[in-house]
Structure 1
Amino acid sequence: MGEISLIIGQNIKKTPFSAAPMFWPKKPLQNAMIHLLISDYIANALLYHAFSERLLQFVVDDQTISSLGPLLRTSCTTGICFADLIPQIAKQYPDSKVRLIFTPTRAPVVLFQAKQGGVLMVNINGLVFMYIVESNKISHQAATFALDIVANIKLHVENNTLLGKTSVDSFQLKNKYGYINISDDELSDVALLSSEMLQRFINDFLRGGFPIPVPKVLRINITQLQILDRSVFISADFDLDQKRLSNLALQAFTDIKYFPPSEHIHSN
């Protein structure tokens, strides 16, 4: 069993946890040329090191997600905006923009679970800092919220393309501190809208799917993807693309220099 470590210069940062025990399924659905068992340790180790290096901070404003521009305003022109959810913002900071900065307080957790036919359970904890950006570009920190998200993702493979669907089962916001008095009902409305938007955004991404990368000389057909407890089981058949392989071999052969450069002989 291996491990994932982060190497920076001469320093090695080891992952402070190891992989959970993994077990092959008792009976695969069908025979295949390749069987793989992949631990959720890989995802969690990468997320841990990304968190430790402060790479998981996200900014949400009209620059990073332009489609949210109308929502992230303190005065509504068309549709819904933050003024509808938190009226105090419109009173204190009219005609301004809202910027949200998310910072995790611990590494996100991804657990592979066999329940419900196999799901990826994701848990994210952090702080959300809400800033008001006035027309003169001066920003004010208006509030800070504690965020706790639990989501389940179901994945499947079609034509070697990974597809999925997510459900946000819990999206909790708690008011930590700030200069705006936000009621529990207002915060509940913000959490509900944010949960729906997050779920829609992830599902739009997963609906399009993304091809599983494979070497060009291989033709792979994934016959089974099964989420187990703490691991995912993958079965696949493959064959070689003889034409591509021959072309690569020919190119490699022609690039080899068997003879030294010719010497010029001068005669008197």
Structure 2
Amino acid sequence: MTAAGEFQASVTSPLLLSVPITGHFEALLGHVALTISVRLESTYGQPQVRSALCQSSIGYVDLNVRNTGVITDFFINAFKAFLISHFKPQVEQRMCNLIETIINTDMNRLLSTMPLKPKSKIGQHGLKNFTLIHFVQNLREKNLLLDYHLTSDPFVQNGAISMLAKGEISWRGNGGTPFFPPNVRIPPPHGVHMVEFYATDYLANSMLYHVYKQHLLDVVVGPESSPQLKASLYFIVIELFVNLQINYLRSCFQDLLLTSCGSGFCIGEFLGALSEQYPDREVEVVFTARKAPLIVFVENRARFRLHGRMNMFVRPRNATQVKEMIIRSDTTMTANVRMWLNSSRIVGNATIENLDFKLLETKIEDVDQASFGDLGLFGAEFLEKLLTEILQLGIVMPSMQGVYLKSPRLVFFFLLPSRFSELLNFSKG
């Protein structure tokens, strides 16, 4: 290691005036050795590093000065052994001071930018006057927080630094999820990736539990919120009555959630004698989740199951009428979710595999389990759109200031059967 530059000095004596000396120096440092020990810590869940040991040693120093004058050059070079004995330990100490500052200050400043509780995209309240657009906007209220606090001190394993984080999504970051993450063994690093991020189903299922507890899956659907319902039903009817003129079909969806249709199409024509028993009434559909949804990851996809209750009401038309429940039912939905990386955000889409309706009670004549079950075709299209909209909001992967993900890749691993049984038992509880 070499160093060169200009220097200024002065020679003082009790009998003589101070003599300033300026010139150039060249120093050659050889056999430089550094021993550094760094401790990885987790203070209040925040990753931190601390310098535990720093030792530096310089084997030899060759120092030469020039352009200070012939006599001064000779004088300084003659006593350079004396100068080196004072110069070398100062350089050794300065090297360790610089390294400790980088580790204890600069590195921790960088690690402090790691978000411990980044906000998710799930909203604050259940919805009324429901539309897909309103629902997605409500999800952006950001009240569910993803907790990235470290659960233990970081450690070095297989040539890489491993950090185990909590990975719980809860309401306002307060925790309280009644089940725990699985015990998993982090596989050794493979390939040429600089960073590998592993997440278990606990991340998604903790979020779904708190979504359920905060009633964020409870929605109310009425005529004022039916444009998306019309769009879903539009394609269904095309499949069922492909021989009808499309322009005619487009004109049929003016008032979908009404009991009396006029010349268009409405639910009153579909559900038995609804239009005769309750003429000229608006229909309201209320969906509530019966238990926390469940998501299980399998190869290249995830399976999502939701148990809910769907009740149908007719709204009063005047002061002499009251809101009346006309159908009470339970529903179970199973969907396949495919996910991928979009920059640093995990996004996806959904396809409904199965949607079952179980009729519990009805006040409408000519409506039985068979006819009511046909609504599954209509509901599947609508819920597919809803789930895909939600998944497109995505989950942001943790990052730190100045750190950017380049060419990230998402890989799914098989879920252990014991873990599947644990989640299934919780879902049934």
Q: Do Structure 1 and Structure 2 share a fold, with TM-score over 0.5?
A: yes
Matched, 1:95 2:251: no
> Contact between 2:226 and 2:256, CA under 8 Å: does it hold in 1?
no
Bigger proportion of residues as strand? 1
Displacement of 1:23 after TM fit? 4.8
Distance 1:93 1:19, change over 3 A: same
TM-score, length of structure 2 as denominator length: 0.45
After superposition, what is the alpha-carbon deviation per residue over 1:1-40, rounded to whole angstroms, capped at 9, x for unaligned? 64859789xxx87332211243556885x42221111121
Counterpart secondary structure, 1:83: helix
Counterpart secondary structure, 1:63: helix
> Contact between 1:85 and 1:190, CA under 8 Å: does it hold in 2?
no
Matched, 1:33 2:188: no
Match among 391, 401, 414 for residue 229 of structure 1? 414
After superposition, what is the alpha-carbon deviation per residue over 1:210-264, rounded to whole angstroms, capped at 9, x for unaligned? 6947667443234210122349xxxxxxxxxxxxxxxxxxxxxxxxxxxxxxxxx
Matches within 5 A, 1:130-169: 130-136=312-318, 138-160=322-344, 162-169=346-353
Matches within 5 A, 1:1-268: 2=166, 4=168, 14-24=176-186, 30-68=191-229, 70-77=255-262, 80-114=265-299, 118-136=300-318, 138-160=322-344, 162-181=346-365, 182-203=367-388, 212=396, 217-230=402-415
- Report the Cα distance in structure 2 between the residues aligned to 1:218 and 1:198, rounded to whole angstroms: 37
- Report the Cα distance in structure 2 between the residues aligned to 1:119 and 1:196, rounded to whole angstroms: 20
Displacement of 1:107 after TM fit? 0.7
Bigger proportion of residues as helix? 2
- Report the Cα distance in structure 1 between the residues aligned to 2:263 and 2:339, rounded to whole angstroms: 37
Distance 1:80 1:119, change over 3 A: farther
- Report the Cα distance in structure 1 between the residues aligned to 2:219 and 2:274, rounded to whole angstroms: 22
TM-score, length of structure 1 as denominator length: 0.69
After superposition, what is the alpha-carbon deviation per residue over 1:43-95, rounded to whole angstroms, capped at 9, x for unaligned? 21232233334443211223345443732121224654212320321111122
- Report the Cα distance in structure 2 between the residues aligned to 1:222 and 1:84, rounded to whole angstroms: 53
Counterpart secondary structure, 2:291: coil
Q: Which runs of 5+ in 1 are unaligned?
A: 232-268
Distance 1:167 1:25, change over 3 A: farther
Q: Which runs of 5+ in 2 are unaligned?
A: 1-150, 152-165, 231-254, 417-429
Counterpart secondary structure, 2:312: strand
- Report the Cα distance in structure 1 between the residues aligned to 2:383 and 2:261, rounded to whole angstroms: 21
- Report the Cα distance in structure 2 between the residues aligned to 1:90 and 1:23, rounded to whole angstroms: 60
Give the superposed CA RMSD: 3.3
Q: Identify the structure with bigger relative contact order (alpha carbons < 8 Å, sequence gap 6+).
A: 1
After superposition, what is the alpha-carbon deviation per residue over 1:141-187, rounded to whole angstroms, capped at 9, x for unaligned? 11111110000111122444544332111100011113224223321
Displacement of 1:105 after TM fit? 1.4
Q: How many residues align?
A: 223
Distance 1:165 1:3, change over 3 A: closer
- Report the Cα distance in structure 1 between the residues aligned to 2:201 and 2:262, rounded to whole angstroms: 46
> Contact between 1:147 and 1:172, CA under 8 Å: does it hold in 2?
yes
